[in-house]
Amino acid sequence: MDARRVPCRTRVSVGLGASALRSASWAYGSYVGGRVLVLASTAILARLLGPEEFGLVALALVFTSLVETVKDLGVTQALIVDQGDGEGRASTAYAFGLGAALVLWGVTAALGPVAAAAFDEDQLVVLLAVLGLNFPLRALGATHFALAQKRMDFRTRAAAELSDVIVRGATGVGLALAGAGAYSLVGGYLAGTVVLTLVVRRRVDFRPARREVRREHFSSLVRFGGTLTAVDVVAAFNNQVDYLITGRVLGTEALGLYTIAFRLPELLIRNLAVVAGQVLFPAFATIGRGELAGAFVRALRLTVAVAAPMAVALAVLAEPLVLTLFGEQWREAVDPMRALAIFALIGALNIPAGTAYKATGRAGVLLWLSAPRGVALVVALVVFVDDGLVAVALCQLATSAVSALVGVILAARLLHVALGRVVAAVAGPVAAALVTGIALAGVAAVLDGLAALVAAAVVGLPLYLGATALVAPDVMATARGAAPGRRAAPEPDRAG
């Protein structure tokens, strides 16, 4: 089938159907391949650059990430669930998004001197002006990207994202070898965005038409997207405030170490949550309210089945992973990474609940959950940041755990799902992950470095798969049926 001719609506059967699961497998396949490439390029760059340079770019990305949350007032996200005049609304979203992106580029450049003065880093002036280019570059393909998600066309997204990470890594490493320093990270970032935009524009059958732009289209889209924008702003603040406070109090070198501590949990688990949300949002939006409860439980079970063993492995094997991949100069990133691995797992658990809120028009609940967490996080960071990077990571972990627990409980009540059913859904995968973690701890106790990682892979993966087959056989059946190219009947919901 031509990837540019995918139907706008894909039916999802009770409990999250086979079509959605195969879409998830394409998305996650792209995610896995992309993360391997990103990890390889990060490992090379970590040996070519130092903590100071990583910290400097991380600080600049904090500002661009915060600005990005308002890039189009959620209009492109609203396209995913909107069922109106598709071409007209998409053209309106494209025009508005591109205009907003140009404005945000100017705002980002203007923030450069302010950031440089606040953190005593003169290079932030140029770094922010250059990084701001990413807004218009990404806006040229943002509507196409949203339409691919709406159509469950994750092959196109996979092609675009893999092209992005390949070009980003190659460009970054090349510039680092040429002595570009922190600008090698920035150059790679922009080059990847250019290629991603070109690929998605080539593969998605949409050409914006100026005559289709309508004020009424924008008004209807922004009513939904505006709430999501507020949620994104608060979430971005919660995700970036630890970087801001760490950079301001502990300095850019400490921030560089914290960035590397975050790298593996982010690549292997947090980005999994993003991929899951991209698949679940259009899938949840196309099923009936009566089917949503089963879909939520099953999505939560599958998310835990993938994320829990990764989190446990990262926490147990943090030292050999950091030293083998990045080098001895990053040793101080080991202990923060242990806490951040569990924090990333908790973030992944939030995705099915958050997606259920959005799919049922209750996106405002996410705002009421995120705002108190943000206040608590800032207070905790201000009090404990002087105790070092581990304390910063634990502040994120503790506040996220409370917010996630409340969020899952509220989602269960909204969908009329008994809490016992939720517990039963996650118990099997968690048990399998803990058993695997005990075995990996034994490996780490007797081996170190690359030998520990090889032995852990040989022991851990078969053990987890075997344990999962015993305590959660439906998860294994679903994984087999969701493989790209396989035909599988939808599995019944057996999570409780």
Give pLDDT tens digits for 290-301.
677 888 888 888
Higher model confidence: residue 336 or residue 281? 336
The C-alpha R_g of the chain, in whole angstroms, comes to 22
Pairwise CA distance, residues 98 & 144, whole Å: 12
Short-list 36, 1, 102, CA closest to 271: 36
Average pLDDT, the chain: 80
Encoded amino acid at 38, one letter: V
Measured in residues, the chain has a length of 496
Give pLDDT tens digits for 378-428.
999 999 999 999 999 999 999 999 988 988 888 888 888 899 999 999 999
454: Cβ contacts below 8 Å, ≥ 6 apart: none
Mean pLDDT of 218-222: 63
Global confidence as pTM: 0.73
Higher model confidence: residue 390 or residue 23? 390
pLDDT value, residue 295: 81
pLDDT value, residue 496: 40
DSSP string covering 36-48, please?
HHHHHHHHHHHHH
Higher model confidence: residue 393 or residue 371? 393
pLDDT value, residue 433: 95
242-251, 277-286, 438-447, 463-472: lowest mean pLDDT where? 277-286
232, pLDDT greater than 80: no
Short-list 216, 381, 275, 395, CA closest to 25: 275
pLDDT value, residue 256: 92
2, pLDDT greater than 60: no
Mean pLDDT of 18-30: 52
491: pLDDT confidence band, cut at 50, 70 and 90?
A: very low
Higher model confidence: residue 355 or residue 426? 426
5, pLDDT greater than 50: no
Question: CA quadruple 254, 257, 261, 266: dihedral positive or negative?
Answer: positive
Give pLDDT tens digits for 44-77.
888 888 888 888 888 888 888 877 766 666 666 6
Mean pLDDT of 36-42: 76
25: pLDDT confidence band, cut at 50, 70 and 90?
A: low
Higher model confidence: residue 289 or residue 443? 443
6, pLDDT greater than 70: no
**What is the dihedral angle through the alpha carbons of 223, 226, 231, 234, rounded to the nearest 10 degrees?**
-150
278, pLDDT greater than 80: no
